[in-house]
C-alpha cells in the first residue's frame, strides 16, 4: 500500500517556545513512549549543560492529522486536551523535555518529603568555583535564600518575588545586589537557550518511527522492542508490546527465575513469529508480521519461555537467571519448546547436552548473528524431528583465570561448580541457602578467599561463604575448629592440598592448588557430558 510521503524540516526554537507547545496541549507525548525514568543526577546535569551553553541534543517531532492516544500529564502536570487540527507528537526527547517542563513550569509548593520533590531544582547563588555543578535538589524543609528555584526564572513576577526575598533575608541581604545580578544571568541563559528541532511532516507511524531511529543520537537509546512497540501500537489497545514484555518478565520472576532481560523475551517473540535473524531484526518487517495477532504472538512466547525456564532450572541446574551463560540460549530453548512442548526423555537429555556444549564453547559469545541464525534453524529442525543437535564448529574453551561474570564461559563454570559439588556449608556447618543467596546478592555472593596477592582475581579464589561483617573468608575459615573446618572446605571444593597452603598462609599456593583441582574436575565432566565436543587446542 502506498503511504503518504513525508518531509523533514529542521529549525531552532527557544526553550521557552518549546515548553509553550507542551503547555498549550499541541505538542503531545504518545502513550507508547517509555515512562519517565531519569535519575536526579541526570536532571541536574541537564540544567548544568544548559547554563554552560553545552548542547543537550535535538528534539524529534512528528506533525500529522492522525489521532494517537497521548499522555494527559507531562511531569505530573495536567496538560489540556488535544486541540483540533494538526498535532505534534514527540518521538525523541521525552526525558529531556519532561525534565524541563516539570522543573520550569509553575506548580504548587513542594511536598515535605517523597519522590515528587524531584521537580524542584535550585541553582546555588554565590558559589565560588565555576567548575562545580551548581544545581541541586533540596530534600529538607524551606531552602536557604541563596537557592534560586528554577520555577521562578521564566515568570517575571515570580522572579521579582525571589529578588525581594534575597533583599529581606538576613543571610543574603548584604550581598543581595550581587546575588540578584547572578540570578538574572542564570535566568537569561535559560530563557535564551536554543534547541535544535526536527519536524517530520506527513507520512505514517512506520515512517516516522524509522526516521526517529536514524536521527536519535542522544539520551536513552530506544531498544528494538520499544521500536516495534511503536510500530504495532493501536489506539484500541491499552498496553503496548513493551508493556506486555515487561509483564512476561514479571511472570517469569514470579516463577522463581527473575531478572531475564527484555531483549531475549523480545527475540523470542520474533523467533516464534518466524524471524531468523533475531540479532539484527528488521523492525518494520517484524511489526507488519505480528501486527495482526500481537496477543497471539505474545501468548505463545510466554508459554514457550515458561517451558524454557523450567528446563533451565530442573534439567540444566540453573538456579537464577543471571547465571545463564548466554541470553541466546533462552531464546533457542523457547523456540524448541514452542515446537515441542512435551519432549520425550531422549530429547531432554540431548537438549541438556546441547546446553552444556554451547555454554563451554564460544559459539554465542559476542552475539554472532550468523551462528545464532544457524542455531535457530537447527533447534527448530531438532524439535520437529528433522535433524539432530550437532557440535560441529564448537570447541570447549579453557577455564578463564579471572572472575568476570560478564563472561559466559565464567558463568558456565559457576553453573558446573554449583551442580557438581552440591550443597555448601556455612561457618556453622549448616547448609547455605544457595539459591536465595545467589538471587539476592548476584555475583557479589562469590567472595575472595585470600587477598594481597597478584592473582587474587583468579576464579579459583572465589567461594560462596557469608562471613560476619569485616571478617575475611580466610580468617573466618581459619578460626573454625579443625573438624568443622575440614567439613566446610570440602563442601566448597577446596582440596586438602589447597587447605594446607591456606593454613600455611601460602596464598599463591592456595590459588594454584585449587585451580589445578577445578580444571581437572571440570575437564573430566566436559569430556563425559559432551563426548563429541573437542577442546580448542585439539
Question: pLDDT (tens digit, 9 = 90+) per residue, 400-415?
Answer: 889 999 999 999 999 9
Q: What pLDDT shows up at residue 534? A: 52
Report field, pTM of the whole predicted structure over 0.95: no
Count of domains for the chain = 4
Nearest to residue 146, comparing CAs of 113, 118, 180? 180
28 and 92 in a single domain? The answer is: yes
Contact 156, 100 (CB under 8 A): no
Round to whole Å and give the CA distance between 337 and 319.
Answer: 19
pLDDT at 237 over 60: no
Strand partners, 396: 535
pLDDT confidence band for 111 (50 / 70 / 90): low
Question: Using CA atoms in the order 346, 347, 350, 355, what is the torsion angle rounded to 10 degrees?
Answer: -140
pLDDT, tens digit, 9 for 90 and up, residues 278-327? 877 666 667 666 666 677 888 999 999 999 999 999 999 999 999 999 99
Q: At a CB cut-off of 8 Å and minimum separation 6, what does 89 contact?
A: 27, 28, 29, 30, 61, 62, 64, 68, 70, 208
Q: Is residue 55 part of a domain?
A: yes
Q: Which of 140, 166, 189 is the last residue of a domain?
A: 189
Q: Output the CA–CA distances (angstroms, integers) from residue 402 to 407, 417, 438, 497, in the order listed.
A: 10, 16, 19, 22
| Burial profile 246-267: b = 16 or more Cβ within 10 angstroms, e = fewer | eebbeebeeeebeebebbbbbb
207: phi then psi, degrees, rounded to nearest 5: -65, -40
* Grid coordinates given for 389: 543437535
Round to whole Å and give the CA distance between 249 and 63.
Answer: 35
Kindly state the helix (H) or strand (E) to which residue 508 belongs, with its residue range. Answer: helix 507-529
Report the DSSP pairing between strands 147-149 and 73-74: unpaired
- Say how many C-beta atoms besides its own lie within 10 A of residue 106's C-beta: 11
pLDDT confidence band for 207 (50 / 70 / 90): low
Burial of 205 per CB tally in 10 Å (0-12, 13-18, 19+): buried
Q: What pLDDT shows up at residue 139? A: 67
Q: Is residue 503 part of a domain?
A: yes
Q: Is residue 402 part of a domain?
A: no
137 and 159 in a single domain? The answer is: yes
Round to whole Å and give the CA distance between 365 and 407.
Answer: 8
Contact 290, 269 (CB under 8 A): yes
14 and 138 in a single domain? The answer is: no
pLDDT, tens digit, 9 for 90 and up, residues 333-352? 999 999 999 999 999 999 99
432 and 525 in a single domain? The answer is: yes
Q: What pLDDT shows up at residue 2? A: 45
Q: Is residue 112 part of a domain?
A: no
Q: What pLDDT shows up at residue 537? A: 46
178 and 214 in a single domain? The answer is: no
342 and 455 in a single domain? The answer is: no
Q: What pLDDT shows up at residue 32? A: 72
Q: What pLDDT shows up at residue 514? A: 95
378 and 485 in a single domain? The answer is: no
Q: What pLDDT shows up at residue 220? A: 44
Percent of the chain scored above 90 by pLDDT?
50
pLDDT confidence band for 201 (50 / 70 / 90): confident
170 and 251 in a single domain? The answer is: no
Lowest mean pLDDT among 12-21, 182-191, 242-251: 242-251
pLDDT at 494 over 60: yes
Q: What pLDDT shows up at residue 370? A: 83
The separation between CA 310 and the C-alpha centre of its own chain, rounded to angstroms, equals 24
Q: What pLDDT shows up at residue 236? A: 56
Q: Is residue 346 part of a domain?
A: yes
Q: Is residue 1 part of a domain?
A: no
Lowest mean pLDDT among 4-8, 83-87, 253-257, 503-507: 4-8
Q: At a CB cut-off of 8 Å and minimum separation 6, what does 132 contact?
A: none
Strand partners, 63: 88, 201
Q: Is residue 113 part of a domain?
A: no
| Domain assignment of residue 12, given as a range | 6-105+192-220
Q: What pLDDT shows up at residue 364? A: 86
**Averaged pLDDT for residues 5-12:** 78
Average pLDDT of the residues of the chain: 85
pLDDT confidence band for 208 (50 / 70 / 90): low
Higher pLDDT, 204 or 194: 194
244 and 341 in a single domain? The answer is: yes
pLDDT at 200 over 90: no
Higher pLDDT, 401 or 450: 450
pLDDT at 15 over 50: yes
Cα-only R_g, the chain: 29
pLDDT, tens digit, 9 for 90 and up, residues 357-413? 899 887 888 667 788 888 999 999 999 998 888 877 677 788 888 999 999 999 999
pLDDT at 248 over 70: yes
Q: Output the CA–CA distances (angstroms, integers) from residue 272 to 241, 251, 264, 286, 377, in the order listed.
A: 15, 19, 12, 11, 12
Long-range contacts of 234-238 (CB under 8 A, 24+ apart): 234/291, 235/67, 235/68, 235/69, 237/294
274 and 362 in a single domain? The answer is: yes
Q: What pLDDT shows up at residue 122? A: 94
358 and 263 in a single domain? The answer is: yes
Q: Which residue reads 563426548 in cell numbers?
A: 531
Q: Is residue 398 part of a domain?
A: no
Q: What pLDDT shows up at residue 247? A: 87
231 and 345 in a single domain? The answer is: yes
Q: Which of 393, 425, 444 is the last residue of a domain?
A: 393
Amino acid at each position: 500500500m502506498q503511504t503518504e510521503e513525508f518531509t523533514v524540516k529542521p529549525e531552532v526554537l527557544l526553550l521557552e517556545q518549546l515548553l509553550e507547545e507542551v503547555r498549550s496541549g499541541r505538542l503531545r507525548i504518545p502513550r507508547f513512549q517509555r515512562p519517565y525514568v531519569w535519575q536526579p543526577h541526570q536532571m541536574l546535569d541537564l540544567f548544568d549543560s544548559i547554563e554552560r551553553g553545552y548542547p543537550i541534543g535535538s528534539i524529534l517531532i512528528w506533525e500529522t492529522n492522525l489521532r494517537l492516544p497521548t499522555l494527559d500529564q507531562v511531569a505530573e502536570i495536567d496538560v489540556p486536551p488535544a486541540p483540533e487540527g494538526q498535532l505534534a507528537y514527540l518521538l525523541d526527547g521525552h526525558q529531556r523535555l519532561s525534565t524541563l517542563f516539570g522543573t520550569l513550569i509553575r506548580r504548587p509548593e513542594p511536598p515535605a518529603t517523597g519522590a515528587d520533590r524531584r521537580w524542584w531544582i535550585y541553582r546555588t547563588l554565590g558559589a565560588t568555583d565555576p567548575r562545580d555543578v551548581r544545581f541541586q535538589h533540596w530534600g529538607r524543609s524551606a531552602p536557604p535564600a541563596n537557592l534560586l528555584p528554577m520555577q521562578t526564572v521564566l515568570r517575571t513576577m515570580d522572579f521579582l518575588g525571589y529578588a525581594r526575598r534575597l533583599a529581606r533575608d538576613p543571610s543574603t541581604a548584604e550581598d543581595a545586589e550581587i546575588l540578584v545580578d547572578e540570578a538574572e544571568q542564570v535566568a537569561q541563559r535559560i530563557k535564551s537557550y536554543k534547541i535544535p528541532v526536527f519536524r517530520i511532516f506527513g507520512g505514517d507511524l512506520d515512517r516516522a518511527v524509522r526516521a526517529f531511529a536514524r536521527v536519535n543520537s542522544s539520551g536513552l537509546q530506544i531498544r528494538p522492542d520499544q521500536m516495534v512497540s511503536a510500530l504495532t501500537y493501536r489506539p484500541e489497545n491499552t498496553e503496548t508490546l513493551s508493556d506486555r514484555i515487561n509483564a512476561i518478565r514479571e511472570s517469569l520472576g514470579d516463577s522463581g527465575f527473575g531478572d531475564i532481560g527484555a531483549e531475549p523475551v523480545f527475540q523470542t517473540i520474533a523467533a516464534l513469529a518466524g524471524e531468523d535473524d533475531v540479532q539484527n531484526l528488521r523492525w518494520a518487517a517484524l511489526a507488519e508480521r505480528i501486527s495482526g495477532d500481537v496477543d497471539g504472538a505474545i501468548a505463545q512466547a510466554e508459554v514457550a519461555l515458561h517451558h524454557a525456564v523450567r528446563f533451565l532450572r530442573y534439567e540444566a541446574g540453573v538456579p537464577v537467571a543471571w547465571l545463564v551463560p548466554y541470553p541466546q540460549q533462552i531464546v533457542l530453548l523457547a523456540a524448541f519448546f514452542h515446537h515441542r512442548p512435551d519432549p520425550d526423555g531422549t530429547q531432554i537429555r540431548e537438549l541438556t547436552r546441547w546446553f552444556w556444549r554451547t555454554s563451554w564453547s564460544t559459539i554465542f559469545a559476542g552475539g554472532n548473528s550468523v551462528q545464532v541464525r544457524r542455531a535457530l534453524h537447527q533447534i527448530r529442525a531438532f524439535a520437529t524431528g528433522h535433524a539432530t543437535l550437532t557440535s560441529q564448529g564448537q570447541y570447549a574453551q579453557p577455564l578463564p583465570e579471572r572472575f568476570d561474570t560478564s563472561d559466559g564461559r565464567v558463568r558456565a563454570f559457576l553453573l558446573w561448580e554449583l551442580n557438581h559439588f552440591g550443597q555448601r556449608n556455612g561457618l556453622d556447618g549448616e547448609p547455605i541457602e544457595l539459591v536465595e543467596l545467589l538471587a539476592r546478592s548476584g555475583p557479589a555472593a562469590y567472595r575472595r578467599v585470600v587477598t594481597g596477592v597478584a592473582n587474587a582475581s583468579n576464579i579459583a579464589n572465589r567461594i560462596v561463604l557469608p562471613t560476619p561483617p569485616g571478617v575475611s573468608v580466610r580468617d573466618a575459615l581459619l578460626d573454625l575448629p579443625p573438624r568443622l573446618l575440614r567439613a566446610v572446605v570440602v563442601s566448597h571444593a577446596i582440596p586438602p592440598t589447597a587447605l594446607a597452603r591456606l593454613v600455611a598462609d601460602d596464598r599463591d599456593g592456595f590459588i594454584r592448588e585449587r585451580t589445578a583441582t577445578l580444571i581437572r574436575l571440570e575437564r573430566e565432566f566436559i569430556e563425559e557430558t559432551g563426548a563429541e565436543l573437542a577442546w580448542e587446542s585439539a
